[in-house]
Structure 1
Amino acid sequence: MPKGSPTSWSYILVRLLFHFVLKIFYGTIVVENIEYIPTTGEPCIVCSNHPNSLTDALILVTSIPPGTRNMLRLTAKSTQFGRKTFTSWLIESAGTVPIKRRKDFPEGDTDNSEVMEKLIQALEAGDAVCLFPEGGSRYHPTIAPLKTGVARLLSDVLTRNRNNPDFSISILTCSLTYMHRQHFRSDVLVTFNPPMKFTPKDNPEFLAPVNFASIRDVTSRMHQLISSQTIDAPSWDLIRSAKLAARIYVPLGTSMSLGDFVRVMRTFVEAFKLSKAKGEKYDQQNQEDDDINRLRNDLKKYQDNLVYWGIKDDRIRRPLRRRTIISRIFVRLIWSFCLMSISLPGLVLWAPVFVTTFIGVRNFKKSGPTWDTWDEIAQYKLVYGLISGVIVWISSVLLTLPFAVITVILVPALMWMTLRWLEDAVSAFRAFTALLRLLWVGPMTLKELRETRDDLHSRIMNVAVGTLGLPQNPEKYFLESGGREKGRVKSKWESGAKYFSMRRRRKRDWNETLRLYDKVDYPDEGL
């Protein structure tokens, strides 16, 4: 039985580095169904959707527990190799295998036969190999048709081991969902799906000479599994409406896991997608599809109004008296000022990181058209942030050499707590500006928005419960179902410490990022 390749020290170091920088950049990374991951020594091809360039690979490496699998052998486009850059060093240090893509070599030099041989040998040794069957990273709302390379690799491995009755290999699909993939302190959901297991004895259809229909069938099953646990829509506009529908169905403050929120949102996406497809294909629709299409269009208009006035749906759902609004304005402003004040010493350390990252990403965007650079923004933010953060840490230690033993720990601790307080300060300031806008909007407009919202809520509940089979009382249902929730604490001390806890995050909304305004819109459909 294969035992898997030994883990090199460079891979362990790179994995720890990945884990650290991802924890800083993303607010929460929730990993589901790790029990599906085959253990070390079991040949495994890990496949996922590919929305976020190199960041997807980093997420997968850090999401697989070292106790389950000692390493994940990555693949990346060959143009990432051989550069004198930190990104290139990271990729090569992790034992990544270069893959040549046709679009990178227009002259036709895309022979990957040696690469495929290395991957086959790694699988026969019991390793896990990571492939992205979309063929390239895409900043699009929909998953691209999967290429057949994974299924063909499966066939080659099974064929070479056709006389080994004990040999088996699995395809483990994974669904990645970024709430806002390139924004600081956003959230990420990683969902592993049940693996597909193959053996030469049970799957002779994959032994050479193989019928290509079997290759297409496995590829189709992979696509179905990946898309079943993430958001796969034909347009950003549809995702925008589905997210608003989910937030009206499960209002702000509902205690639910990120996975539950994504699945609720996906349910609305699928309903809108199906009704829209029927409307475009047939001249006549049934009443149910017509109602869903009108709901989607009305949600878009309502969201447009919210964006125009600069307020969130939650401010419409829970009307406040003018006196209450004014008093809360002062509370939010004072609290934001207090948190920002205690953050100032740490912000001095963070300033070079933020400035360097901003300049680096801005220059990167100028290097090509938006459609060709947008999916790599998170990657560049991670790299520039990591390098500048390490330089700040080393410089702080060198400048305080007599107390270096203290500052080597104090500096990163202060930077982490500053990030915690800054998140809450920004959240408080967002609330302050939202309350100001409520005064600006005026009672008549608020009344109209509230009437529109009440009508939408009634229609959404009818569709959610009557058509989509979602729970009648979502707030109670998701509270009882449990899960990893934003702001949940594990001890009385943490609960009492609140803003001064090292671990507590008080965000109530899975849609939040570290911005002074709420991020609800998506790119133009042409991107």
Structure 2
Amino acid sequence: MNILLHLIYDFLKVLVLLVLRIFFRKISFINRKNLRYTHPCLLVSNHPNTLLDPLIPSAFARKKVFFLANASLFAGGFANWFFSTFYCIPVYRPQDKGYKPGKNNNSFEKAENHLLKGGTLYIAPEGTSYIERRLRPIKTGTARIALQTAARDGFQTNLKILPVGLNYEDQTRFWKNILIHVGQPISVNSYEEEFEKDPFEAVRMLTEALQEEMGNQLISIQDVTESRLFRT
């Protein structure tokens, strides 16, 4: 990232923080100190609000954040230039038109290279945004990127996954409250032995651990009736 992009990022971060302070009536934290990390990091959160979810943890993180984003955002010449220049890496989903196995290899390599340089990458592990007050089953992509990155450096990179729970009072309305619950970082290095024995099992285990830890950060509501009661 060159000096100009650094300045643009810093300006956009201040702008986003200002917008968040205006949009939400109150922003509360649990374990905010965990966002002051210095190690390479996969920053992950639940995904009930398509636009705000990536911006919130990134705005309050100490380090600059890159984003793994839906490839559909890159459609068109200007959009492709803009998102590619400003911190985004495209990822293709199986349900997307034209998807085929291996299409994300280049994107995953870019993500791994960024993390190996000590960077931070935001991912929404659920894959798709749903307006629900619960965590949906997460995809394996986060664990695969994490383990492949660590393996490329012989598990010496000290890569962590930091789960963040975004607990909106009402993610569809202005001037509501939000509780941001930052979890404990998950050490990718602790899966080294399992990865060397069986990479697929290591991915499964890390995904399962991430699902549990992310769920711990959320005020989870399992059905529509409970959700309506929560809002009243």
- The TM-score, its normalising length taken from structure 1, stands at 0.40
Give distance in 2, aligned partners of 1:108 and 1:93: 23
Please tell me whether residue 52 in structure 1 is matched to residue 77 in structure 2: no
Instruction: Indicate how the Cα distance of structure 1 residues 181 and 88 shifts in structure 2: closer, same or farther if over 3 A, else same.
Output: farther
Please tell me whether residue 204 in structure 1 is matched to residue 193 in structure 2: yes
Aligned partners of 1:206 and 1:214 also within 8 Å = yes
Give the counterpart of 1:108 among 80, 99, 102: 99
Instruction: Indicate how the Cα distance of structure 1 residues 159 and 89 shifts in structure 2: closer, same or farther if over 3 A, else same.
Output: closer
Aligned partners of 2:138 and 2:211 also within 8 Å = yes
Report what 1:29 is aligned to.
27
Structure 1 residue 198: deviation in Å? 2.9
Instruction: Indicate how the Cα distance of structure 1 residues 92 and 178 shifts in structure 2: closer, same or farther if over 3 A, else same.
Output: farther
Give distance in 1, aligned partners of 2:81 and 2:169: 28
Instruction: Indicate how the Cα distance of structure 1 residues 15 and 191 shifts in structure 2: closer, same or farther if over 3 A, else same.
Output: same
Aligned partners of 2:147 and 2:188 also within 8 Å = no
Structure 1 residue 210: deviation in Å? 2.9
Please tell me whether residue 129 in structure 1 is matched to residue 127 in structure 2: no
Report what 1:216 is aligned to.
204
Give distance in 2, aligned partners of 1:89 and 1:26: 31
Structure 1 residue 222: deviation in Å? 1.1
- 1:344-372 deviation line (CA, Å, top 9, x unaligned): xxxxxxxxxxxxxxxxxxxxxxxxxxxxx
- 1:191-212 deviation line (CA, Å, top 9, x unaligned): 1101011338x722124x6342
Aligned partners of 1:33 and 1:191 also within 8 Å = yes
Give distance in 2, aligned partners of 1:5 and 1:45: 22
Give distance in 1, aligned partners of 2:24 and 2:77: 27
Instruction: Indicate how the Cα distance of structure 1 residues 37 and 29 shifts in structure 2: closer, same or farther if over 3 A, else same.
Output: same
Structure 1 residue 88: deviation in Å? 8.2
Aligned partners of 1:10 and 1:93 also within 8 Å = no
Residues 315-354 of structure 1 mapped to structure 2, 5 A cutoff: none
Task: Calculate the aligned-residue CA RMSD, in Å.
Answer: 2.7
Report what 1:179 is aligned to.
169
Structure 1 residue 122: deviation in Å? 0.5
Aligned partners of 1:151 and 1:215 also within 8 Å = yes
Give distance in 1, aligned partners of 2:87 and 2:188: 26
Give the counterpart of 1:73 among 66, 75, 85: 66
Structure 1 residue 38: deviation in Å? 5.6
Structure 1 residue 167: deviation in Å? 2.6
Ranges in structure 2 where 5+ consecutive residues have no aligned partner? none
Aligned partners of 1:75 and 1:99 also within 8 Å = yes
Letter of the 2:135 counterpart:
I
Greater strand share, structure number:
2
Give distance in 2, aligned partners of 1:8 and 1:83: 25
Aligned partners of 2:58 and 2:122 also within 8 Å = no
Give the counterpart of 1:150 among 125, 129, 142: 142
Report what 1:19 is aligned to.
17
Report what 1:315 is aligned to.
none
Instruction: Indicate how the Cα distance of structure 1 residues 5 and 136 shifts in structure 2: closer, same or farther if over 3 A, else same.
Output: farther
Q: Secondary structure at the match of 2:109?
A: helix
Instruction: Indicate how the Cα distance of structure 1 residues 74 and 26 shifts in structure 2: closer, same or farther if over 3 A, else same.
Output: same
Ranges in structure 1 where 5+ consecutive residues have no aligned partner? 244-518, 521-527
Residues 429-508 of structure 1 mapped to structure 2, 5 A cutoff: none
Letter of the 1:14 counterpart:
L
Letter of the 1:136 counterpart:
T
Greater helix share, structure number:
1
Give distance in 1, aligned partners of 2:56 and 2:179: 10
Report what 1:140 is aligned to.
132
Report what 1:9 is aligned to.
7
Give distance in 1, aligned partners of 2:80 and 2:175: 25
Aligned partners of 1:11 and 1:93 also within 8 Å = no
Q: Secondary structure at the match of 2:18?
A: helix
Please tell me whether residue 226 in structure 1 is matched to residue 214 in structure 2: yes
Q: Secondary structure at the match of 1:104?
A: coil
Structure 1 residue 91: deviation in Å? 4.8
Aligned partners of 1:46 and 1:130 also within 8 Å = yes
Aligned partners of 1:158 and 1:206 also within 8 Å = no
Give distance in 2, aligned partners of 1:152 and 1:5: 29
Report what 1:195 is aligned to.
185
Give distance in 2, aligned partners of 1:62 and 1:150: 21
Report what 1:99 is aligned to.
91
Instruction: Indicate how the Cα distance of structure 1 residues 93 and 159 shifts in structure 2: closer, same or farther if over 3 A, else same.
Output: closer
Give distance in 1, aligned partners of 2:52 and 2:213: 21
Q: State percent identity of aligned pairs.
A: 25
Higher relative contact order structure (alpha carbons within 8 Å, sequence separation ≥ 6): 2
Give distance in 1, aligned partners of 2:189 and 2:54: 27
Give distance in 2, aligned partners of 1:173 and 1:5: 29
- Report which of the two structures shows the higher radius of gyration computed on alpha carbons: 1
Structure 1 residue 154: deviation in Å? 1.6
Aligned partners of 1:193 and 1:226 also within 8 Å = yes
Structure 1 residue 233: deviation in Å? 2.5
Aligned partners of 2:134 and 2:218 also within 8 Å = no
Aligned partners of 2:67 and 2:89 also within 8 Å = yes
Report what 1:235 is aligned to.
223
